[in-house]
Amino acid sequence: MKKLQYERPVIQRLNVGVMNKFGNKTEYSPVKHIEGNTVKSLIEKFGSPLFVISERIIRETFKDANRAFKTRYPRVQFAWSYKTNYLNAICNVFHQEGSWAEVVSGFEYHKALKNGVPGTKIIFNGPDKSEADLKLAIEKNSLIHIDHLDELYLIKELAVEMKKRPRVAIRINMDTGVYPMWDRFGFNYENGQAWDAINKIMLNDKMDLVGLHSHIGTFMLAPSAYGVAAKKLSDLALEIKKKYKKNIQYIDMGGGFASKNTLKGSYLQGIDSTPSFDQFAEAITTSILNAGFVENELPLLILETGRALIDEAGYLLGTVISNKRLSDGRRATIMDFGVNILFTSFWYDHKISPAQEFSRYTEDAVIYGPLCMNIDVIRENVTLPPMKRDDHVIVHTVGAYNMTQWMQFIALRPAVVMIDTQEKVHLIRSRETLASIEGNEIIPRYLEKFKL
Amino acid sequence: MRLKKNLALSDSGFVFDPSTGDSFSTNPIGLEIVKMLQTGKDADEIKAQVVKTYLIDEVGFEKDYYDFVNTLTKLKLSDGSPEKKD
């Protein structure tokens, strides 16, 4: 007689009359494949945990964003935000789609150059640009976005020293009606700091003020805030034109568009609450188009969208290590991936799908990572079918920030593969080894030996 | 452990405790175990039966079995007597 498929026995009290606003069950079918490749075969070949990137989703999402803006505004340019995910293969997919590079450190700047991005198409943001970084960026004629006055003075000195005229923009922070207001970066619009910086650049005439930049926040759910920011930057550009007879070549709206993830504490699922690219595009382009620019002087609109372009293309495959019961009776499932590689689980309720058949029975569970640290919690409360040791799961929408903010803490970092548009799998980052971690360590000679 | 004798079970996995008015839902294997416990089968007999029917070995099933039995106790479905055949 053929044996039946085993499922862990579960029993739950039925709470009749008590409404659960989140519903009882979120998963109706297992996710056994990603783009034609079985989860099992991917894990067998590359190990568990494993990050999987879908090239098809990246390209489709990019095209959707590009369409949303280009159908509303004549001059649009995306710049790939390196800090969101700077694995070279991923950066190059965006560069193939036409994105420039947006970097926030010397390290990222060098990465972009090495990937083959021309210096003139690199936007250099961030508060920490060393003198060497700035010299290189000036030499390569990159777009340098000035964050503070010390940087402005340094660029001025370097311009004289190098006999070059750096192309610069200033980053402007402002009140757009959302909280928190990101006023730690750049110069404030309302209190006159921005004008002060503009006057210093224009009157000194050692730099070419080519753009205005803002980045109003992260995971923004209100497109109207971008409309306010675009209006303020447009007004500033028109005032500069009036005062200095200088055309501002571009307005850079930065990034911050929300992805389809669900923020912790959010009443609605991310997929229901996240604005579309069309909504962001409508708010931004309407503000610029209505600001009063002459048609042939409309500035280039630059977007540094990161999260919303890559998050959905990323999956994390993992394996159940064990199940246990907590003191209050709740089920706890321990996975082989933790907050060390899934940093975003600190602020998202990531969707988790089992990767094998399951019945209609579910249990409330806490999902823990494998780290011997109390903070290692992936989901505080999730309803999932019973899973046993060695069962696999897929965590969805993990493409943004996890592969840059991941920590080599307690465990080694996993491999990353990309599935191309023909469903072929490519290893784009190998699993770390002890050698990759110890490569930079030096043991002083007197500490090399010991007796126990 | 022994279950309360008056528990009402349906084939779809619905369990009703008439002494408290509480109702429960269990999966097919859970229902099978509850039925075996009701007929007085002990842990070894239940383990043997499950291993014979399902794709699981005894070691794999044992921890799930004791976890399930503890849950039954927590849900007050046990009659409080130790596990013993009648």
Q: How many angstroms separate the CA atoms of A9 and A22, rounded?
A: 24
Q: Specify whether A245 is located in the same domain as A303.
A: yes
Q: Specify whether A112 is located in the same domain as A198.
A: yes
**A13, part of any domain:** no
Give me the amino acid identity at A77.
Q
Q: Specify whether A356 is located in the same domain as A288.
A: no
Q: What is the pLDDT of residue A21?
A: 53
Q: What is the pLDDT of residue A2?
A: 84
User: Quick check: A388 and B27 CB within 8 A?
Assistant: no
User: Quick check: B27 and A3 CB within 8 A?
Assistant: no
Q: In chain A, whose CA is at the least distance from the CA of B29?
A: A9
- The SS3 of residue A426 is strand
- The SS3 of residue A387 is coil
Q: pLDDT-based confidence at A18, cuts 50/70/90?
A: low
Instruction: Using a pLDDT cut of 70, give the percent of chain A over it.
Output: 97
Phi, psi of A296 (to 5 degrees): -80, 5
**A150, part of any domain:** yes
Q: Specify whether A371 is located in the same domain as A402.
A: yes
Q: Specify whether A93 is located in the same domain as A233.
A: yes
Q: Name the residue range of residue A220's domain.
A: 55-311
Instruction: Name the β-bridge partners of A322.
Output: A334
Interstrand relation of A331-335 and A363-368 (parallel, antiparallel or unpaired): parallel
If you write DSSP's letter for every residue of A220-285 in order, what string do you get? B--HHHHHHHHHHHHHHHHHHHHHH-----EEE----B--S--BTT-SS-HHHHSPPHHHHHHHHH
Can you give the CATH number for the domain in which A142 is found?
Answer: 3.20.20.10
Q: Which residues of A touch B48 (CB under 8 A)?
A: none
**A442, part of any domain:** no
B61 at interface of A, judged by CB pairs closer than 8 A = yes
Last residue of one domain, picked from the residues A311, A330, A361: A311
Closest CA to B35 of B50, B51, B54: B50
Chains A & B: contacts with CB separation below 8 Å:
76
Could you tell me the two tokens for A312? 């959905």
Q: pLDDT-based confidence at B86, cuts 50/70/90?
A: very low
- Spell out the residues 6+ positions from residue A178 whose beta carbon is closer than 8 angstroms to its own: A216, A217, A220, A222, A225
Q: What's the pTM value of the predicted model, to 2 decimals?
A: 0.89
What torsion, rounded to 10 degrees, do the Cα atoms A305, A308, A310, A313 define? -160
Q: How many angstroms separate the CA atoms of A176 and A188, rounded?
A: 12
Q: In chain B, whose CA is at the least distance from the CA of A387?
A: B64
Q: How far is A423 from chain B (nearest CA, A)?
A: 33
Q: Specify whether A164 is located in the same domain as A149.
A: yes
**A213, part of any domain:** yes
Q: Specify whether A212 is located in the same domain as A359.
A: no
Does pLDDT of A437 surpass 60?
yes
Does pLDDT of A387 surpass 70?
yes
- Say how many domains are in chain A: 2
Q: pLDDT-based confidence at B9, cuts 50/70/90?
A: very high
| Omega within 30 of 0 (cis) for the link into A299 | no
**A19, part of any domain:** no
Q: Specify whether A132 is located in the same domain as A185.
A: yes
B68 at interface of A, judged by CB pairs closer than 8 A = yes
- In the predicted model, what is the mean pLDDT of chain A? 93
Q: Mean pLDDT across the stretch A66-87?
A: 97
**A139, part of any domain:** yes
Q: Specify whether A44 is located in the same domain as A62.
A: no
Q: Specify whether A409 is located in the same domain as A286.
A: no
**A443, part of any domain:** no
Does pLDDT of A28 surpass 80?
no
Q: What is the pLDDT of residue A27?
A: 57
Instruction: Name the β-bridge partners of A31.
Output: none
Q: How far is A392 from chain B (nearest CA, A)?
A: 17
Q: Specify whether A276 is located in the same domain as A330.
A: no
Q: Mean pLDDT across the stretch A105-109?
A: 97
User: Quick check: A3 and B54 CB within 8 A?
Assistant: yes
CB A133 within 8 A of CB A118: no
Q: How many angstroms separate the CA atoms of B67 and B46, rounded?
A: 14
Q: Mean pLDDT across the stretch A338-359?
A: 93
pLDDT in tens, A111-170: 999 999 999 999 999 999 999 999 999 999 999 999 999 999 999 999 999 999 999 999
Q: In chain A, whose CA is at the least distance from the CA of B72?
A: A11
Q: In chain A, whose CA is at the least distance from the CA of B30?
A: A9
Last residue of one domain, picked from the residues A311, A342, A365: A311
Q: pLDDT-based confidence at B80, cuts 50/70/90?
A: low
CB A5 within 8 A of CB A357: yes
Q: Specify whether A123 is located in the same domain as A232.
A: yes
pLDDT in tens, A174-232: 999 888 888 889 999 999 999 999 999 999 889 999 999 999 988 888 999 999 999 99
Does pLDDT of A26 surpass 80?
no
Q: Which of A3, A11, A323 sits opposite B24 (nearest CB)?
A: A11
Q: Tokens 């004549």 map to which residue?
A: A74
Q: What is the pLDDT of residue A218?
A: 85
Q: Which residues of B touch A357 (CB under 8 A)?
A: none
Can you give the CATH number for the domain in which A350 is found?
Answer: 2.40.37.10
**A1, part of any domain:** no
pLDDT in tens, A276-293: 999 999 999 999 999 999
| Angle, helices A106-114/A131-139, rounded to nearest 10 degrees | 30
pLDDT in tens, A224-273: 999 999 999 999 999 999 999 999 999 999 999 999 898 888 888 888 88
B37 at interface of A, judged by CB pairs closer than 8 A = no
Q: How far is CA A146 from the centre of its chain?
A: 22
Q: What is the pLDDT of residue B85?
A: 46
pLDDT in tens, A312-332: 999 999 999 999 989 888 889
